[in-house]
Structure 1
Amino acid sequence: MFGRLVADHDEHRALLAMVEETSGDSPDRRALFDAMVAEMHAHAAAEDQALWSVVLRNPDTTHDARHAVAEHKQIDDLIEELQEADMASPGWLAQFAKLKDKYLHHIREEEQEQFVAAEEHLSDADIKHLLSVFERRKKAEKADA
């Protein structure tokens, strides 16, 4: 389960780097940004349902789950601002840098702290089930995008 989430994070890191290398309101920037947004949204929705909704129920990990879900909302807000902004403006890339910093901070916390804490409180059967839920929900989210 957690390896699957980290694999998505690796893909997100690559997409962030590729978007950052584009310029202006170019077809490349638009396509990469749209792909990144669709991937991040699908991942976050699936992660919230599969993992954080379960982790939230355990008093030992409730704080981590709340923190992760709150950061998903902050990231969504930054994405929304970027979607509304003019990609050709110099400020767009500066705003994108804020999103990148926030997202990299978020996934670093998940990978190094929150996933570790969650894994300690989940059985192997729980983890297998959560992976199945994650895959199903992510596929549905991407289909709806």
Structure 2
Amino acid sequence: MTAATLYDALRESHELQRALLRKLLRSKPGAEQRIDLFTVVRHELAAHEAAEERYLYVPMMMHDGGLSASRHALHEHHQIDELIEDLQALDPAGSAWIETAKALSKKVHHHLREEETKFFQVSGKLLSDSSKQKLAGQYRRDYQRMHRMLAAGR
């Protein structure tokens, strides 16, 4: 399905992130499935973050009214990245790993909810309808490119 606007494209990834995190939290300690799911989650978050930063946050930062919200969202992406790094250093069979995974899920869910209920409304007022459609295509292409790059590097 091709997204009509940038927000449609972003929501598709948001729904995938929510589903993947639910599966990850239900995975068995030490199971191969947990490690594989974590790789999928890591790649999805990284691809989404990179494309979203380029095609939503950067255009928003070009408007005075979008600076604060963009900075806040970038900060949350950084926090998510740090939790991913923490998980990579932990034993996937250990209790610290699942606690950190829960913290990651909570942070991602908070970020997505905030983005969908606040940030999309702010940016929706600042970006033109034609730019939202153009940015959707750019986001989608970069998101797919990032997925290919991450899969190649695993």
Q: Which residue of 1 aligns with 2:47?
A: 42
Decide which of 55, 59, 63 is 2:60's aligned counterpart.
55
Distance, in Å, in 1 between the alignment partners of 2:144 and 2:19 is 20
**Structure 1 stretches of at least 4 aligned residues deviating more than 4 Å after TM superposition:** none
Offset at residue 35 of structure 1 (A)? 0.5
Q: Which residue of 2 aligns with 1:109?
A: 114
Amino acid at match of 2:93: A
Describe how 1:1-145 pairs up with structure 2 within 5 A.
Answer: 1-145=6-150
* Partner secondary structure for residue 21 of structure 2: helix
Instruction: Structure 1 unaligned segments of length 5 or more: list them.
Output: none
- Using the size of structure 2 for normalisation, the TM-score is 0.92
Distance, in Å, in 2 between the alignment partners of 1:141 and 1:7 is 16
Aligned residues: 145
* Partner secondary structure for residue 61 of structure 1: helix
Offset at residue 91 of structure 1 (A)? 1.2
Instruction: Structure 2 unaligned segments of length 5 or more: list them.
Output: 1-5
- Using the size of structure 1 for normalisation, the TM-score is 0.97
* Partner secondary structure for residue 127 of structure 2: coil
Amino acid at match of 1:20: L
Distance, in Å, in 2 between the alignment partners of 1:83 and 1:56 is 32
* Partner secondary structure for residue 64 of structure 2: coil
